[in-house]
Each structure stands twice: as structure tokens, then as C-alpha cells.
């Protein structure tokens, strides 16, 4: 009897939170078409995100974060409107997403790229990653070391903060050392090389090219990839991608 009541209570809770979320999360994106009043778009979305932040989660934070992420994808993927209003709300979406599910590492890829490369807010991006890192631990989850690398790239390439970037790469190496993730050994080696290079010459072009290459592997779309390739070429490197195999070939400049 108790088990049945517990199950019913859980189902009721799920129904309640889904109903509440649907009422607030059913953003009418059609009203934000290109021909609409763009001046009010950002303020309306900001208000909607605030209302979402006040919803009771009832223990379903992961489900809530997933729902907000789906709405972010709708927002991010509306290219015609983004061309006119920008991507300024990207950090606001991820402040809410990461507060409710800091353990799903792919969220951080979108948080960093959309906030830094698209919204032009690297300081907010770093703050978001720091917010999540407070909840993460080495090997919990196994790929948590990647967040330190995303943070290091933002600090080095967009904030020009080589000291903090060096510290972040070191943390990435330290966390990778104790991780059982299959890529942990390689990431630890690459991160330590970045630390050593930054100690010798923080402005080394090859260091920055390697940082851009790290972002290339997690680029969200062709626009991001093309920008990264252009940045690498601007630093004197040459890059080509084999479309059949996806292999990246890079020629580094002579320092």
C-alpha cells in the first residue's frame, strides 16, 4: 500500500511540474518573427527566463534543465532573428540550465561557445563555467576536466588572461590524471604542454593556435568552425580538413 501511495505521489509530482513548466515554457516563438517588434523581444524573453527560474522543481531539476536547453536551441537556431537581435540572452539561458544540472558536460560546450563566440560575452562565459565547476569534482563526472579546458580557452583567446588560462589548463591536467575517461591521458598531456608553453611565452602564436584547435573539436556549427579556421590562419597557421575522414591537418608557423 505504501509503495502504491509513493508511486502515485511521484506521478502526481511529475504531472504537476510538467504542467507548470509547460505553462511557462511554451514560449510563443512565432510572435518573435523577423517582422515583429524587435525592441521588445529581449525584454520579453528575459521576463520569461525569470519566471522559469521561480518554478518549483520538485526534485526534477534535470528534466527542467533539459526543457530550458530545448528552448535555448530554438532561440539559438532562429538565424534570421538572431541576425537582428543578437545572441545576448545565451548566458541567461545557461545560468538557469547549469544551476539545475551542472553534471551534464555537453551543456558547457554550448554555454562557452554561444556566450563567447556568438554573444561576445567571454566574462559571462567564464563566470558560468566557474558556477558549474563549484559543483563538479575530478572524475565526477568522468569528463569534468573538459570544463577547465573550455574555461582556459575563453581566458586565453578572448580575455587575454594568460595567467588564469595557465591555471585552468593545470587544473584540467590534474583532474584528467584521476579520471577514468578514455581520453583523460591525452587531455592531461595536451593540457600540461599548454601550461609549459604559457610559462615560456604567453604570447606564443603556436600556443594560441593549439587553443583554437581545442575549440575546433567542439565547435557548434560551420560558422564557428570557419571563424576558428580564420583565426588560425591569421596567426600564421595553415589548416585543412579532409572531408572524407574528418582528419584535421595543421601546419604551424615558425616561431
Alpha carbon 2 to its chain's center: 43
Which letter does DSSP use for residue 255 in this model? -
For 122-149, what is the mean pLDDT?
95
* Residues 205, 255 contacting (CB under 8 angstroms): yes
Strands 238-241 and 248-251: antiparallel
Cβ 133 vs Cβ 107: under 8 Å:
no
Please tell me the predicted confidence (pLDDT) of residue 23: 45
pLDDT of residue 50: 62
* Per-residue pLDDT, 36: 46
Helix (H, G, I), strand (E, B) or coil at 135: coil
> By C-alpha distance, which of 74, 81, 82, 136 is closest to 105?
136
Q: Which residue has the higher pLDDT, 144 or 211?
A: 144
pLDDT-derived band at 33, boundaries 50, 70, 90: very low
Q: Is the pLDDT of residue 170 over 90?
A: yes
Under the banding of pLDDT at 50, 70 and 90, the label for residue 28 is very low
Return the pLDDT at 38. 47
pTM of the model: 0.78
Tens-digit pLDDT profile for residues 85-131: 788 889 989 999 999 999 999 999 999 999 998 889 999 999 999 99
Asked whether residue 151 carries a pLDDT value surpassing 80, the answer given is yes
More confident residue, 218 or 180: 180
Task: Indicate whether 172 pLDDT > 50.
Answer: yes
Q: What is the mean pLDDT of the chain?
A: 81
C-alpha 128/C-alpha 110 separation (Å) is: 11
pLDDT tens per residue, range 47-90: 677 677 667 677 788 888 898 899 899 888 888 888 887 888 89
| 207 touches 201 (CB < 8 A) | yes
Q: Which pLDDT band holds residue 254 (cuts at 50, 70, 90)?
A: confident
Length of the chain: 255
CA dihedral 119, 132, 153, 79 (to 10 degrees): -30
Q: 201 is written with which cell numbers?
A: 611565452
User: What are the CA-CA distances from residue 31 to residues 41, 44, 48, 126 (Å)?
Assistant: 9, 11, 14, 32
User: Is pLDDT larger for residue 62 or for residue 173?
Assistant: 173
Give 88's contacts (C-beta < 8 A, 6+ positions apart).
42, 119, 121
pLDDT given at position 255: 64
pLDDT at 188 over 90: yes
Q: State the pLDDT confidence band at 43, using cuts at 50, 70 and 90.
A: low
Amino acid at each position: 500500500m505504501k509503495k502504491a501511495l509513493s508511486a502515485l505521489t511521484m506521478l502526481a509530482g511529475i504531472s504537476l511540474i510538467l504542467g507548470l513548466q509547460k505553462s511557462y515554457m511554451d514560449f510563443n516563438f512565432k510572435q518573435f518573427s523577423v517582422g515583429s517588434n524587435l525592441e521588445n523581444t529581449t525584454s520579453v524573453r528575459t521576463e520569461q527566463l525569470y519566471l522559469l527560474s521561480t518554478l518549483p522543481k520538485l526534485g526534477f531539476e534535470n528534466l527542467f534543465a533539459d526543457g530550458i536547453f530545448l528552448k535555448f536551441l530554438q532561440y539559438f537556431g532562429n538565424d534570421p532573428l538572431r541576425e537582428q537581435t543578437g545572441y545576448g540572452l545565451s548566458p541567461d539561458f545557461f545560468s538557469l540550465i547549469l544551476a539545475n544540472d551542472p553534471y551534464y558536460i555537453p551543456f558547457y560546450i554550448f554555454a562557452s561557445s554561444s556566450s563567447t563566440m556568438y554573444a561576445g560575452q567571454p566574462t559571462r562565459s567564464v563566470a558560468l563555467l566557474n558556477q558549474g565547476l563549484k559543483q563538479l569534482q575530478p572524475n565526477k563526472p568522468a569528463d569534468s576536466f573538459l570544463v577547465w579546458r573550455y574555461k582556459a580557452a575563453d581566458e586565453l583567446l578572448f580575455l587575454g588572461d594568460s595567467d588564469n588560462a595557465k591555471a585552468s589548463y593545470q587544473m584540467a591536467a590534474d583532474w584528467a590524471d584521476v579520471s577514468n575517461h578514455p581520453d583523460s591521458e591525452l587531455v592531461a598531456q595536451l593540457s600540461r604542454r599548454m601550461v609549459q608553453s604559457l610559462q615560456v611565452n604567453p604570447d606564443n602564436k603556436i600556443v594560441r593556435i593549439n587553443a583554437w584547435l581545442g575549440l575546433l573539436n567542439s565547435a557548434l556549427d560551420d560558422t564557428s568552425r570557419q571563424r576558428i579556421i580564420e583565426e588560425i590562419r591569421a596567426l600564421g597557421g595553415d589548416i585543412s580538413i579532409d572531408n572524407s575522414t574528418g582528419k584535421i591537418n595543421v601546419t604551424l608557423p615558425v616561431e
